[in-house]
């Protein structure tokens, strides 16, 4: 996979240059705009430029950088230099915020630990039921049985070698 390098030159920062490289597959080399259509790739490029320059990159500036770089990648140019004015007034800052506690902390004295939550015990355990102790349904009457069930029942009563009347 070939490596393509972007060099961002910032004239209002004393011509400071920063570089960013990516390794692209053959398909990504043919269609580099598809590579940068993925939000992760775009945001990674933006974050890298902002971190190295300590300046904010606007959406318009990022689109212009990506456009110029993708045009050079399509022409198989491995190194692209883009000149961008990044204003000095827009520094990238990540404010550190502290979360306020929602409740007051509890004082724990030394060598004492909070008791684990107790589980309520049932007053009495329900009796165990065995499947054989379940009530069995009543046997159907002769009127409810079908003809084949009656024949089978007659056969069970007699000898297995005997013929039976139907």
Distance CA 148, CA 99 (A): 79
Distance CA 42, CA 70 (A): 12
Please write the tens of the pLDDT for every residue from 87-133.
775 554 444 444 554 544 444 444 555 565 665 555 555 666 665 55
Which of 83, 60, 75, 87 is closest to 6 using CA atoms? 83
* Domain residue spans of the chain: 3-83
Please write the tens of the pLDDT for every residue from 5-60.
999 999 988 889 999 999 999 999 999 999 999 999 999 999 999 999 888 999 99
């Amino acid at each position: 996979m070939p490596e393509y390098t972007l060099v961002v030159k910032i004239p209002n920062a004393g011509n400071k240059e920063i570089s960013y490289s990516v390794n692209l597959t053959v398909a990504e080399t043919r269609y580099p705009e598809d590579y940068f259509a993925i939000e992760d790739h775009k945001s990674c490029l933006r974050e890298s430029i902002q971190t190295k320059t300590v300046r904010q990159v606007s959406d318009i500036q990022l689109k212009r950088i990506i456009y110029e770089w993708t045009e050079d990648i399509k022409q198989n140019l491995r190194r692209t230099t883009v000149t961008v004015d990044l204003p000095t007034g827009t520094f990238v800052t990540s404010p550190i915020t502290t979360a306020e506690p929602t409740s007051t902390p509890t004082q724990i004295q030394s060598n004492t630990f909070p008791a684990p939550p107790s589980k309520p015990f049932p007053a009495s355990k329900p009796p165990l039921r065995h499947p054989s102790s379940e009530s069995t349904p009543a046997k159907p009457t002769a009127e409810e049985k079908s003809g084949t069930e009656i024949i089978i029942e007659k056969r069970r009563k007699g000898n297995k070698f005997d013929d039976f009347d139907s």
